[in-house]
Chain A
Amino acid sequence: MTEETSHTFTVHDPIGLHARPVGQIVTLVRERGVSVTLRDSTGKEASATSALRMLALKIKNGDSLEIIVESDDQALALGLAKAIEALVNEG
């Protein structure tokens, strides 16, 4: 069983999680080749390889968002989750 690393943060973007950061997340996750899931505060999940599923979470400004990375390398996993946070909140 692969380890799961979870990282939760609040989305700070006036228009929420939108197309541009979502595109960047897909590219980043594909490059790293690990399994990453986004989970909203209601428990709804989306694979980070599907732009459509992530957009369908309809994450808004101020919502909390959890990033779950499946990897035995916890440091790498947390780094990736934080990189995704940066894309979401700076994108």
Chain B
Amino acid sequence: MSHNEITGTGVGSQAVVGNVFLLETSDAVFEHQKTTHSPEEEASVLATAIATTAAGIRDEARDGGKTAAEILHALLIILEDPELQEMAKPYLSTGDDASTALFKALDVVSELMGDDEEFQSRVNDLRGIAARISAWVRGIAAGPAIPQEGQWVIVAHDLTPLETSQFGDSVVGVVTELGGPTSHTAIICRALALPAVVSARGAMGLVQGESVLVDPEGNRVIRGGGMVDATQALTFIPQANGPLVTVRANIGGLADATTAASTTARGVGLFRTEVLYLSASTEPSVGDQAASYTEVLKAAPAGKIIIRTIDAGSDKPVPFLVLEHEQNPALGIRGFRLQADHESFLVSQLEAIAQAMSDTGRDVGVMAPMVATVKEVEKFAALCAKAGISQVGIMIETPAIISVLPELEGLISFVSIGTNDLSQYLFAADRMHPRLGELNNPWQPGLLRNVKAIADHAQALGIPAGVCGESAANPLVAIVFAGMGIDSLSVAPSAVEEVTRALSAITREQAQEASVLALAARVPSEAETAVRGLFTPAG
């Protein structure tokens, strides 16, 4: 069964059976490539490619509906913005070709916009159009048209407004590798009442014409599945006054802090500070930084606030920190490792945070990203002590730090697990790699058992352990974590209510039972099915 399933995020609750129609964009469109052209020549290729593709798309889109046309227009305006080409220039000057630099510039934009969900839901739409531009740059042909007869499940990396506007009555379901629950694809599918599974990593491995069950309630696609395999709906009805463990919000800046304050989040479990620095061309003064932190601390929801010090790397550059190009940025100088060359900046950041703490009187913990050794933690704790910060913690993202946690007694007062990066490093699987989604599945026993080990280590140290990775936004995974002894969960503001509701609907014993079942599983689907079964009403 597990080989026949692809998991993702369901949109809608009605399941459907149909034949796969691959709307394929060749991988060659997305590959990072170098060019022998000069950066100036390549910049002009990029400008021409954007203008030509945008004109072509405008021509084709004339028949679309009004809303779809306005969204498409807005996306084209963003891609045509000369600012975007400016953002691509640093990459062009390292020898990247026009397509590669365009995709990287969009990554920078995406990072800049942080947790702005409305924008993040458009980023994949922008990448979809960028793929057309890339196809033009590289001379790759566009795919075939969807047949008007039959019952088709459209399978794609992601769908652009351009592509969804071509859906006729023959389209009965949608599966995409990318795109979140708020993506254009998800919005259109909801509007058209089309069952869909998005973020279905591995979907492009489906075979043209094969029959699949799209099971949005089960967050999965089943190859050869029938309607009898479809998942029953799960609903959580809150029984208790509050959730089993504290639910906090992940934020990147003031706007997110304000959004989070309108939810039931009890504080902030992850404040990604790099977002504040991405648009600064020179290092901001301690006073300027403190003012930004004060603003965010004032707006943040009541409760503890956990601030993560700057987490940049050569794939996530901050303009005033000079970072050399790296072959493998995920394994390079990033997170706390930046401290070696940029200690004075880290010192100024900690001073600014300490100042904002005393200005606002908020309960703040500060943690370091990407630490792997006891020595690094000692260094961080010493820097925090010097700045007058007493609640010091670390992110757990590297497998190496897990086994030495007992050595950190007295150095730290909390840990927070970043499950996205922890998965990436545990499984040696790039979290952005579209074909390695299964290895980054939060139900992987290799991940769950490590989270349990961390919870146990933390308990032995007498310090709280939280999870601030995306995985905790899945209510069932959140329940499993709570059952393992994780003390707090932090999720995107949009997921706070759903997770809180689930954690208010169950008892500690149920959560513990769920974690025992999940930890005993050999494969992800076994873990998810067992836990889901616990909460599925009989009959």
Contact = CB atoms under 8 A, between A and B. Distances in A.
Interface stretch (A1-9, A55-63, A65-73, A78-86): A55-63
Contacts, number: 65
Interface in A1-40: 15-16, 18-24, 26-27
Residue from the set A21, A26, A42, A51 with the largest chain B CB neighbour count within 10 Å: A51
Contact of B77 (A15, A26, A56): A26
A58 B78 contact: no
Contact of A52 (B70, B71, B83, B118): B83
A45 B265 CA distance: 31
B77 A51 contact: yes
A16 B118 contact: yes
- Tell me whether chain B's interface is mostly helix, strand or loop, or mixed: helix
Contacts of A18: 118-119
Residue from the set B109, B116, B253, B295 with the largest chain A CB neighbour count within 10 Å: B116
A53 B78 CA distance: 10
B70 A24 contact: yes
A51 B118 contact: no
A22 B77 contact: yes
B259 A53 contact: no
B341 to A, nearest CB: 28
A53 B83 contact: yes
B83 A50 contact: yes
B116 A52 contact: no
B82 A50 contact: yes
Interface of A: 15-16, 18-24, 26-27, 42, 50-53, 55-56, 58, 60, 91
12 contacts: A19-B71, A19-B75, A19-B122, A23-B74, A23-B77, A24-B73, A42-B295, A50-B83, A51-B81, A56-B279, A58-B254, A60-B258
Given A22-B74, A23-B76, A52-B84, 17 more contacts: A16-B255, A19-B74, A20-B71, A20-B74, A21-B74, A22-B77, A23-B70, A23-B75, A23-B78, A26-B77, A27-B73, A42-B295, A53-B83, A55-B119, A58-B114, A58-B255, A60-B259
